[in-house]
Amino acid sequence: MADPALANKSDASQSVKQMAYELFQAALFDGELKSGQLVSQKDLVKLLNLSIGALRELLPRLEAEGLVTVVPQRGIQITAIDLPMIRDAFQMRAALEREAVLHAVKTLPDSVLDEQRKLHLDIVEAVEKGVTEEVLQRGQQIDTDFHNVLIRQTNNEILIHSYNINSIRIRLIRHDRISLTELLLPHTFTDHLAIIDAIAKRDPVAAIEAMDIHISHARQRATEI
């Protein structure tokens, strides 16, 4: 029988590691850590309010996920948002979301597709009436949730995990270079609606083509800036 004390200690350790990981992500998305920035372990410990031990346990995961590079005798370099990184991130996204859309053609219920279509059309209508910050924020959330719906319904934990890691890079690219605007949101949602319609028709070729077009548009916007 497993020792409950050891199990609790292990759970607590995992909780601390996850908290440290989430603190690092928050610092990235809040702009406290910049693309390509070189920081010392001392500075990172202070910024994230971590112990040096917690940071050293966190670093292997961040390195494995390509979010930092430990530079001997210099410090920790935050991943740079450059053209090779953008190309790699979008290529990975395309591979994962093609698989997700194929699975959706086979399994995603019509009720979910109808709900997604309504959410998208409501935002498009709201934009036509007049854009507010609240509308853009809702649009951004619907954008994120739409892709998460497609990924989650694969029920493939390896694929979902890979997507979650890559989505950090995509979020960094968006934060640094692109975000939904009054002009961009209708184009993005038109792409989404084409994907939804192709899935609803249970047409795998059209669904993959619609997803490829959508990701190509997003990649182009990221690399043009």
Predicted confidence band of residue 148 (pLDDT cuts 50, 70, 90):
very high
Predicted confidence band of residue 180 (pLDDT cuts 50, 70, 90):
low
- The answer to whether 87 touches 219, Cβ cutoff 8 Å, is yes
Predicted confidence band of residue 176 (pLDDT cuts 50, 70, 90):
low
**What are the angstrom distances between the C-alpha of 93 and each of 123, 159, 212?**
25, 11, 10
What domains can be seen in the chain, in order of their start residue? 4-78 (1.10.10.10), 83-224 (1.20.120.530)
pLDDT at 12: 55
Per residue in 7-58, pLDDT (tens digit) is 454 555 667 788 899 999 999 888 899 889 999 999 999 999 999 999 999 9
Q: Which H helix or E strand runs over 71?
A: strand 68-71
Predicted confidence band of residue 136 (pLDDT cuts 50, 70, 90):
confident
pLDDT at 7: 43
pLDDT at 115: 98
Average pLDDT of every residue of the chain: 89
